Chain A
């Protein structure tokens, strides 16, 4: 039996190609295409009075200029609201080009097509748009106050309002022996993938076919959306996703205005058109996330057990709502983490502001939810003078209570039922890994040297792998090579490796014989997309099921050829053989030949399948009525519900007593995503996620001024952490299999980022002795918090400086 590949830390097979510059990204394609550029609104809120393009018309190399007036039919209508929900009160979406109003700086108003991008940008610079500026609405407070409204025809800025309740939380809180209220605040950040958005379209007028390349997280979604807008049949549109330089959520949004305008213009002009986003466009005109204000009221008993939890969330969704209210739904459901909340009530209002749209960014509302819950846990511990880990343990759902129904509806519209998990075991592991019980001594020793150190802990549960489905197609070529296709897309997750590992085991072929294609509607038209940590769960399961179908067929055909019982056959190293008698066997490639009865021979191997040389059975047609030619298997995986991965992070920080600079000394992770397909890839995902968690906690923010201008729209001023800021990550795994899918796996893509803000806030709080309620926190902000604390403007934590290791103290 060959080595099982599932679970092995296999080096990623795509990396050599990608890190040696052999990747093919969107902008590497279409050298002969016309280039598009966009005139974008310089105002956060304005009415377009007039557009004067005459200045651009004599630019040498200009091909076309388009405004909303040039659009008709579905293209002239607002873009779709992708995920409708009954809680949406007034769902506004943008136009492909602004019609009358603009609602954020960067909104596309005019499209220019030219010989190359230089010419296009020159023409953009000569187009004069006359705006009547209107009042901007920036920030949650202004949006909630609604003295100014973002969208004409609305009386306030509330896009959606949702209340979910399990039990009577307010009554439970009122009756509880202890009660705390917290006001929490998280700022905007963004995915900022290395490669921005990009679209390249080829219209073939003779075949009436559109080929669209897009740097997207969903090929099938883009295909359907573009077909609908351009009035094409699905069969007339092929979407191919090239190598993608990161997505992290922002590229699941579709169709972008540019994603419609580029193919529309390609068809109108009968010429290839391409647009590759620049960094400034990405900052201002793509999407952001995270910004929320939360008011938490919690009632609890003297052991720290939650009796009632009431959370009120104000969520900034930016100028439009194209992706619906997935983010605040995720926040309000995933907030519960590994805990039993007692009675729970959560209410959110999703608010329009005149800023870039807000759509899922890795973590997708969970970092905010975890921030709310974990800040609450720490506040309870401080209130009761309890060890923070003990308060968490007192509230855990126990392994024997699984599956556990939280009584809410999750973001996939299905019940929020945790499938499996062992939270007490995770807590023990993380405490051991970070040395939780010994930290008091370390902190005291550090303090004696004039140093400030603190430790934090944060737990999360992450719904991963939501449906509705993904498909897998596996085909054995007559060469014996195996081609695997799944519809969802790849942005660096290592799908080529992980899916090949799964197929290698299922089929018994070496990984080197397997190639994997993702995100190409020509190979797998039925698909959803890559988001919500669903790649491995959904496509992993789908390709496993498809490979099983193929294997069944291969064994059936080989059994005929070998005159053996299919049950006695196995596939080893690409060869079907009789178990125990390996000399009696047939190559999988030959089985592929036999699977496809031929009239014509084209090489030596195919002769075996022709009418006069193949084995003939005159009682049966060459292809049976219930069979089909070829050695292929297609199957789809559609889960009952999401799987729920979980984890716990612990971090040790040091804050400079003078400059208030914050340094991470240790970062520990215990992670449970069920069965690991490839621990190397999972750890890589955790590392990347932690880097983005640190980013959101200490560095990244979107700095809008009150006029709605983004002040830090460059990598000079929007600070991502570098290798010099990302700590070494110490990881321990727990593998609690999911009972929901054939492989027992759960998603891992987002996990690392989720508790970042919560755990670092907890550690800074522990070092400083006063509550941290806003993230991110910069040295400048920490300095001002200290000042307020010194002047008595912030209350000290009740149990400050004695909040870990009480058992030992």
Chain B
């Protein structure tokens, strides 16, 4: 196995262009597991840890441009206000040691449907910035996940950053795991209310071949929600929302839980998220409106 260690972003892009089969590595929290388990023997690794800038984030218009290599710990520490759902998800990732190494770029690169970062990126309509020697292109997270571990990233591209829009309303993230920490989610869910566009965003993790949205649930909630005052939704509407989210999932039976339980738990998480987001909306009415 070849080990490439570019010192600059340009060198990294050149390396990826020359060796499209090379696998980028930063924290190694996914890549090393796969290598150790012999699930994958990539012909080359591109170590991105020396590339400057990947571990940085900065304001970008109203939002934030998050370097692909910012560790989850950094997101927890700095972005609780700028990206509440992503920060909540980051907080729930694995253990402190893994949060110190793992990054959103890694989650996007591996594209496991269980990655904790995906649901918030979908719910908040974040944008993935991809780069190659040919230039930069921006792909909305909602168009990024194409199939099981398949994404819109071309083989010669590296993930440079994620653009996180400024929140315009409450955001929520929740997951069910068999254990309280250090566990691959049985199912996870993110919700974002956008008061400006009066839209609702959703993201579903661990309940399908890719991270998923629930467009029907989004439209339903946007139509039902009291965008003026954030009045509590009727029980029936909350319930319907949960059903629509569950219906959008495409879960399987596995070691962690059955498909039936996943759908059920997802509906519960969705109901709870919507009810709590509505409460947040009322409380923070002045801030968000």
Contact = CB atoms under 8 A, between A and B. Distances in A.
A778 B179 contact: no
B32 interface: no
A782 to B, nearest CB: 9
Interface residues of B, number: 22
Contacts of B37: 280, 714
B179 to A, nearest CB: 5
Interface in B160-201: 176, 178-184, 186
A783 interface: yes
Contact of A703 (B255, B262, B269): B255
Given A280-B37, A658-B268, A714-B37, A778 B257 contact: yes
A727 interface: no
Contact of A717 (B181, B184, B264): B184
B255 A779 contact: no
Interface string B200-219: 00000000000000000000
A719 B257 CA distance: 13
A717 B184 CA distance: 8
Contacts of A600: none
Given A659-B265, A714-B37, A780 B180 contact: no
Interface in A696-743: 699, 703, 711-712, 714, 716-717, 719, 721-722, 724-725
A190 to B, nearest CB: 15
Contact of A659 (B176, B181, B182, B183): B176
Nearest to A658: B268
B180 A722 contact: yes
A661 interface: yes
A660 B257 CA distance: 12
B181 A779 contact: no
Interface in B231-260: 255-258, 260
Contacts of B186: 779-780
B33 A716 contact: yes
A658 to B, nearest CB: 4
A719 B261 contact: no
Contacts of A783: 258, 260-261, 264-265
Contact of A779 (B33, B176, B184, B260): B176
Contacts of A295: none
Contact of A725 (B33, B180, B256, B264): B180
Among A658, A703, A711, A721, chain B packs the most CB atoms within 10 A around the CB of A658
A784 interface: yes
B260 A784 contact: yes
A255 B144 CA distance: 54
Nearest to B258: A780
Contacts of A659: 176, 265, 268-269
B176 A661 contact: yes
A721 B264 contact: no
Size category of the A interface is 20 to 34
Given A703-B255, A717-B184, A784-B260, A779 B265 contact: yes
B255 A717 contact: yes
Contacts of A722: 179-182
B101 to A, nearest CB: 15
A778 B256 CA distance: 9
Contacts of A661: 176
A780 B56 CA distance: 40
B179 A779 contact: no
Nearest to B259: A780
Given A712-B255, A779-B265, A721 B184 contact: no
Interface in B258-287: 258, 260-262, 264-265, 268-269
A89 B180 CA distance: 45
Given A716-B184, A717-B184, A779 B178 contact: yes
Contacts of B255: 703, 711-712, 717
Contacts of B257: 778-780
Instruction: Count chain A CB atoms within 10 A of each CB in B33, B182, B264, B269 and give the residue with the most.
Output: B264
A778 B268 CA distance: 17
Interface in A631-689: 658-661
Contact of B261 (A280, A699, A784): A784
Most chain B CB within a 10 A radius of its CB, from A659, A712, A780, A783: A780
A784 B178 contact: no
Contacts of A721: 179
B173 to A, nearest CB: 15
Given A714-B37, A778-B257, A780-B258, A719 B178 contact: yes
B179 A699 contact: yes
Nearest to A657: B268
Contacts of A724: 179-181
A706 B149 CA distance: 26
A724 B180 CA distance: 6
Nearest to A661: B176
Contacts of B258: 780, 783-784
A439 to B, nearest CB: 25
A461 B217 CA distance: 55
A336 B183 CA distance: 38
Nearest to B179: A719
Contacts of A658: 268
B261 A779 contact: yes
A714 B258 CA distance: 20
Nearest to A662: B178
B285 to A, nearest CB: 28
B182 to A, nearest CB: 6
Nearest to A778: B178
Interface in B121-156: none
B249 to A, nearest CB: 14
A661 B175 CA distance: 12
Nearest to B41: A125
Contacts of B268: 658-659
6 tightest Cβ-Cβ pairs between the two chains A and B = A780-B257, A780-B261, A724-B180, A658-B268, A783-B261, A703-B255
Interface of B: 33, 37, 176, 178-184, 186, 255-258, 260-262, 264-265, 268-269
5 contacts: A703-B255, A722-B179, A779-B261, A780-B258, A783-B260
Given A661-B176, A783-B265, 20 more contacts: A659-B176, A659-B265, A659-B268, A659-B269, A660-B261, A699-B178, A711-B255, A721-B179, A722-B179, A722-B180, A722-B181, A724-B180, A725-B179, A725-B180, A779-B176, A779-B178, A779-B261, A779-B265, A780-B256, A780-B257
Interface of A: 280, 658-661, 699, 703, 711-712, 714, 716-717, 719, 721-722, 724-725, 778-780, 783-784, 787
